[in-house]
């Protein structure tokens, strides 16, 4: 029996029982493999499992590799070269570098799974690239005699792109460029392609952030069609339009935003009624009045999904004429809004609400710093009493919530006129921020509950809507979080039922610990990511049964969808949209949100790294924020940036990484480096391209 015939017979036996596992000895007996040929037979099984012809499981078990063992998902590659294909509600599939073929980071791939006795995750091999995650990538161009090449900035793309002569588009040595693959014939060879845009030299003003914009493939300019369509709109307050709206122009309404904000999509008002109850108004820019569903502006906004707030610029979801002008709630100008007016008891319990299209005229454009000075009694204003009443109501609302309270620290990077970072300072959070947040949370909750509870025929037959959901953490994630807490001396047990209250108490205790930043980071990582969905499962982090996004339609597409649905159901509660189409847009927007957040973080990190270039050789005090088998990550709290002490630089001993105890321990001297500990480090290397900082431990 030759090898091909043997393979065929093995597959026949396995395929007849596709849902059953077979041991090696059982297969050998069925196929009448002699004792002399047993070792060769066993090797054949391993080879077939490795190639994906059959499925290899733990403890020398094998199974048919039918179509059920081909999975489709997004490939995420790490800096070490291997990766995982992500699957919902299933363990991710491990892909070794040799089994990746021509797939790259963020590609959608089809994978043939086979078992592995060495890891908890199933292992697989990429069979097909269904969709490229990146049509283009950013890198540094280097010319050569026969051809040039581009080294990608993204360390997760670990292959250089060959640029044949004639395809360099005027690029020079060291230029930052945008390149695309044109041909890739075999995974053992480099792909070839062309340069589609030259961004400039790395030190040219703005090139670093431009590299991030193109690296994440974020659209910047709007087409002429979109711009023309937007400019056809105007504020036309006709008699007919006034009849259809609640006229609030005589009410005292105002905005509170960052000092440098250019678009104002939410305004607030507060007064008491004859019963002594609060009447809180949350008035949101009525973008749906100006952006027609299915029009060019709408399709572009849906594609973008969100505005992107980078360290030195904002890339808006809508053309500037709409975002900064027509839709923006500008002081002293009549504007169309969508208002949620909530009646609350003095104890901040919701008694009733009204949701209506409206017209407002903002009386004042406040920024957060101004409001905080008024709340602190440092400044006076004719609206001081109203603002202080708002502060009281907001704090009462906050006490009623069972939400997990996480004030994650952020940095503010001050740039000069050339985009060079000159100062890094902590971003302050004021009571004025919390005031606005509480009112927006309430409006979002009221709107979601209105549709999900009041308008829905039943819980089993809910009215289609766009919810902001946050699923409960997985049990294993909570187990790992508790194990970490034990390492820091906390006496905590994994509860039988994982609730927001458990997380809230944990966050409160973590705040009081010296290593609070490490602990809070771990707490956040243990939770799932919030996303948009038509299937309401509630919001775990906020402890809300119903929650949506209604308050920022200038910068978030889901909010615009919510406005449209509210208007639709106000006319006819039974006029339901296509739920599948709605869910598809929800998924697109969840992906757009993740991409925008990643780009925002990357833009901040690149300026942090650039700022620390001037401190190479300087030493700072930091704390151990993460331990991995190749080194120790140290966070410098004054800059909120992490750098790495490589294991190779711990040369005073042989150090062993103990993953369960979250520590490195010297084998001979017994020196221990533990998560959360304070250490002093010196900056030895900074790489803007990789957005990496290397440290060494100070003597």
Q: Which of 58-62, 497-501, 539-543 has the lowest mean pLDDT?
A: 58-62
Supply φ then ψ for residue 623, to 5 degrees. -135, 155
Percent of the chain whose predicted confidence (pLDDT) is above 90: 63
Mean pLDDT score of the chain, rounded to an integer? 91
> What are 670's two structure tokens?
């017994």
Topology of the domain covering 67-131: OB fold (Dihydrolipoamide Acetyltransferase, E2P) (2.40.50)
Residue 210 above 60 pLDDT? yes
* Residue 676, pLDDT above cutoff 90: no
Q: Worst-scoring range by mean pLDDT, 99-108, 246-255, 368-377?
A: 99-108
Tell me which residue of 593, 684, 622, 687 sits closest to 79, measured CA to CA. Answer: 687
Q: Residue 19 pLDDT > 70, yes or no? A: no
Cite the residue boundaries of each domain of the chain with CATH code 2.40.50.140.
Answer: 67-131, 616-697
pTM: 0.85
545 pLDDT more than 50: yes
Cα dist. 533→458, 465, 558 in Å? 18, 8, 10
Residue 68: pLDDT band by 50, 70, 90 thresholds? low
Q: Measured between alpha carbons, how far is 154 from 195 in angstroms, rounded to an integer?
A: 16
686 and 625 in contact (C-beta within 8 Å)?
no
- Residue 439 backbone dihedrals phi, psi, to 5 degrees: -70, -35
β-strand partners of 272: 278
CA distance 485 to 491: 8
pLDDT at 143: 95
Note the pLDDT of residue 635.
Answer: 92
Task: Output b/e per residue, 417-442; b: 16+ Cβ within 10 A.
Answer: eebebeebeeeeeeebbbbbebbbbb
All residues at 6 or more sequence positions from 101 whose CB lies less than 8 Å from its CB, including other chains: 125, 126, 129, 187
pLDDT tens-place string over residues 265-312: 999 999 999 999 999 999 999 999 999 999 999 999 999 999 999 999
What's CA 436's distance to the chain center, in Å?
Answer: 23
Q: Tell me which DSSP letter residue 463 carries.
A: P
Question: What pLDDT sits at residue 117?
Answer: 47
pLDDT, tens only, 84-125 = 998 776 778 899 888 899 999 999 998 887 765 455 678 888
The fold of 137-201 is: OB fold (Dihydrolipoamide Acetyltransferase, E2P) (2.40.50)
Helix (H) or strand (E) holding 581: helix 579-612
Residue 460 DSSP SS3: coil
Whether the predicted pLDDT of 58 surpasses 80:
no
Task: Indicate the range of 90-99, 451-460, 584-593, 641-650 predicted with least confidence.
Answer: 90-99
Residues 327, 287 contacting (CB under 8 angstroms): yes
Mean pLDDT, rounded, for 631-637? 93
For the chain, residues classed under CATH 1.10.10 are 3-63
pLDDT computed for residue 55 by the predictor: 76
| CATH number belonging to domain 3-63 | 1.10.10
Which pLDDT score is estimated for 679? 93
Confidence of residue 527 (pLDDT cuts 50, 70, 90): very high
Give the integer Cα–Cα distance in Å for 238 and 248: 16
In the chain, residues under CATH classification 2.40.50.700 are 137-201
The CATH homologous superfamily for domain 616-697 is Nucleic acid-binding proteins (2.40.50.140)
Q: In this structure, are residues 586 and 549 in contact, taking their beta carbons and an 8 Å threshold?
A: no
Give the mean model confidence (pLDDT) for residues 125-143.
90
User: Nearest to residue 127, comparing CAs of 79, 93, 159, 162?
Assistant: 93
Q: What's the token pair of residue 561?
A: 């969808």
What is the average per-residue pLDDT within 501-514? Answer: 88
**What does the angle CA 408 – CA 638 – CA 405 come to, to the nearest 5 degrees?**
15
pLDDT digits (tens, 9 = 90+) for 647-660: 999 888 899 998 88
């Amino acid at each position: 029996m030759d090898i091909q015939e043997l393979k065929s017979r093995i597959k026949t036996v396995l395929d007849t029982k596709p849902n059953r596992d077979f041991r090696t000895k059982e297969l050998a007996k069925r196929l009448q493999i002699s004792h002399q040929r047993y070792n060769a037979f066993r090797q054949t099984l391993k080879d077939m499992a490795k190639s994906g012809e059959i499925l290899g499981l733990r403890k020398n078990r094998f199974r048919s590799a039918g179509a059920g063992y081909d999975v489709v998902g997004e490939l995420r590659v790490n800096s070490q070269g291997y990766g995982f294909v992500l699957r919902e509600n299933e363990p991710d599939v491990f892909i070794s570098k040799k089994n990746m073929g021509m797939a790259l980071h963020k590609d959608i791939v089809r994978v043939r799974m086979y078992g592995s006795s060495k890891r908890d995750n199933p292992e697989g091999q990429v069979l097909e690239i269904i969709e490229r995650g990146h049509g283009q990538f950013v890198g540094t161009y280097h010319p050569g005699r026969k051809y040039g090449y581009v080294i990608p900035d993204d360390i997760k793309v670990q292959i250089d792109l060959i640029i044949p002569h004639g395809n360099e588009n005027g690029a020079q040595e060291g230029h930052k460029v945008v390149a695309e693959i044109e041909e890739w014939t075999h995974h053992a060879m480099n792909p070839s392609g062309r340069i589609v845009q030259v961004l400039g030299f790395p030190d040219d003003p703005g090139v670093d952030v431009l590299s991030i914009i193109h690296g994440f493939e974020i659209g910047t300019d709007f087409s002429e069609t979109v711009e023309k369509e937007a400019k056809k709109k105007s504020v036309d307050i006709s008699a007919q339009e006034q009849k259809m709206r609640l006229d609030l122009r005589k009410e005292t309404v105002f905005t509170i935003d960052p000092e440098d904000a250019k678009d104002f999509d939410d305004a607030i008002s507060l007064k008491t009624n004859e019963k002594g109850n609060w009447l809180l108004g949350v008035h949101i820019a009525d973008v749906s009045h100006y952006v027609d569903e299915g029009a060019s502006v709408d399709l572009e906004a849906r594609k973008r999904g969100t505005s992107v707030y980078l360290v030195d610029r904002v890339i808006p979801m809508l053309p500037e004429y709409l975002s900064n002008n027509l839709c923006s709630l500008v002081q002293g100008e009549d504007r169309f809004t969508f208002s949620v007016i909530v009646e609350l008891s003095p104890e901040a319990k919701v008694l009733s609400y009204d949701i209506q299209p409206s017209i407002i005229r903002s009386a004042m454009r406040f920024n957060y710093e101004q409001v905080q000075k008024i709340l602190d009694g440092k400044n006076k204003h004719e609206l001081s009493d109203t603002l202080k009443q708002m502060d009281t109501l907001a704090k009462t609302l906050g006490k009623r919530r069972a939400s997990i309270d996480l004030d994650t620290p952020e940095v503010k990077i001050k740039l000069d006129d050339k985009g060079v970072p000159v100062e890094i300072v902590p971003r302050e959070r004021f009571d004025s921020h919390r005031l606005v947040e509480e009112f927006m949370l309430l409006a979002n909750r009221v709107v979601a509950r209105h549709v999900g509870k009041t308008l829905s025929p039943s819980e089993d037959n809910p009215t289609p809507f766009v919810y902001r959901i946050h699923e409960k953490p997985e049990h294993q994630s909570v187990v790992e979080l508790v194990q970490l807490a034990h390492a820091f001396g906390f006496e905590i047990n994994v509860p039988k039922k994982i609730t927001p209250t458990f997380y809230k108490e944990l966050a409160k205790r973590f705040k009081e610990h010296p290593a609070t930043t490490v602990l809070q980071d771990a707490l956040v990582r243990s939770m799932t990511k919030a996303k948009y969905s038509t299937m309401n499962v509630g919001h775990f982090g906020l402890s809300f049964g119903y929650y949506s996004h209604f308050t920022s339609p200038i910068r978030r597409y889901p909010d615009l969808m919510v406005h449209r649905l509210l208007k639709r159901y106000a006319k006819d509660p039974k006029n339901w949209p296509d739920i599948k189409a709605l869910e598809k847009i929800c998924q697109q927007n969840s992906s757009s949100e993740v991409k925008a957040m990643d780009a925002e973080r990357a833009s901040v990190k690149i300026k942090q790294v650039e700022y620390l270039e001037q401190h190479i050789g300087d030493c700072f005090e930091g704390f151990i924020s993460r331990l991995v088998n190749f080194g120790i990550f140290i966070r410098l709290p004054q800059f909120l940036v992490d750098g790495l002490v490589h294991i190779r630089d711990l040369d005073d001993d042989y150090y062993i990484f103990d993953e369960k105890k979250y520590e490195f321990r010297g084998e001979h001297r017994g020196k221990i480096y533990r998560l959360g500990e304070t250490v002093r480090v010196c900056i030895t290397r900074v790489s803007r391209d990789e957005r990496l900082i290397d440290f060494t431990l100070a003597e």
